Amino acid sequence: MIALHVSVQSTSLWGQWSLDPIALIGIPLAALLYARGLRSMAPRKRYHASWRPWSFYGGLTFIFLALVSPLDHLAEELFYAHMIQHVGLMMIGVPLVLLGAPMIPILRGIPRSTRRRLVIPIARSLPVRFVLRTLTRPLVAWPLYVGVFSFWHTPALFDASIENDALHIVEHLLFAAAAYAFWWNIVDPLPLKSNLSYLARIPYIFITVVPSFLLGAFLTFSGSAWFETYQTSTARYGFTPVEDQELGGVIMWILGSFIIGTALMIDLYLAVRTEQRAQLAEESAG
């Protein structure tokens, strides 16, 4: 009976797409500018391996699905769906977009007159450069990422963001901005470089596992539901509020740790390879 009820509820969700104006305008616009910029770079594609556009558009797809698909509505009904949404946005979508090295293609995709008169002067302005340089410093980006994620999961603010659409959009914007600053120091934002060497990125990534692990564990083993939002809605899907929260905690705990752990292993491999190349170069020079 529960399984049938869940199936009916799930089917009805497919018609409930979000009308988030920022996502509906911003994501297609980014995709268009990136494609336009790549065409103009065709003779000089040395900065762009063939896999980078796939990564960029894959990341945009994850972000679009997280913010616009029926998952956004389901996240208002089930906490575990909310966690899937946030993991998809902050730990999958944003790093994939960065791996696509979008800076040059998007800039080149903007019409030349607009780029010269508006975008370049803003990008070169000292206040903008200072803010971007500050936010991407490791000692700022890491606590910003962890703090934003943890802060928005305090019960009072979490419930308020579900009830208020404008606040919900602000939450997602802050999540995306904090994730961008955090992953900047793990994924080289070509043509720029990370603020950290491959070796220095290892502790930077490793310590991110701890807060995710702790918050996920608290949610999983608390034994009581934290959020008023889901006190009644979970029953429609065959869950109690505590069961829903436990599943959400497991997603944060296991899936989040797996993604961070994968990034750590890749970075460790790159650190070793870079060190080996440096040693070979030194031996050759000697």
pLDDT at 184 over 50: yes
Tokens linked to 64? 């679009």
Buried b (16+ CB within 10 A) or exposed e, 238-254: ebebeebbbbbbbbbbe
State CA 163 to chain mean position distance. 23
Question: How many structural domains are present in the chain?
Answer: 1
Measure CA of the first residue to CA of the last residue in the chain; give whole Å: 75
What pTM did the predictor assign?
0.85
Mean pLDDT of 128-152: 90
- Determine the structural domain holding residue 136 and report its residue range: 2-285
Task: Give me the pLDDT at residue 2, please.
Answer: 32
Is the previous residue joined to 191 through a cis bond, with omega within 30 degrees of 0?
A: yes
**In what helix (H) or strand (E) does residue 284 lie, and over which residues does it extend?**
helix 256-285
Tokens of 41: 């770079």
Question: 252-264 pLDDT, tens per residue?
Answer: 888 888 888 899 9
CA torsion sign, 78 to 79 to 84 to 90?
A: positive
Residues of the chain with pLDDT > 70: what percent? Answer: 91
Token pair listed for 257: 């740790």
Whats the size of the chain, residue-wise?
A: 286
For residues 52 and 275, give the distance between their C-alpha atoms in angstroms, rounded to a whole number: 25
Contacts for 233 with CB less than 8 Å, ≥ 6 apart: 76, 77, 78
Q: What is the pLDDT of residues 214-225, one digit of tens each?
A: 777 777 787 787
Phi and psi at residue 19, to the nearest 5°: -110, 35
45, two tokens:
């594609």
The stretch 146-159 carries a mean pLDDT of 85
Neighbours of 168 (CB within 10 A): 19
List, for residues 100-120, the tens digit of each pLDDT value.
999 989 988 888 888 888 888
- State the average pLDDT over residues 91-106: 92
Return mean pLDDT, the chain. Answer: 84
What does the pLDDT read at residue 169?
84
pLDDT reported for residue 141: 93
Among the listed ranges 46-50, 123-127, 256-260, which one has the minimum average pLDDT value?
46-50
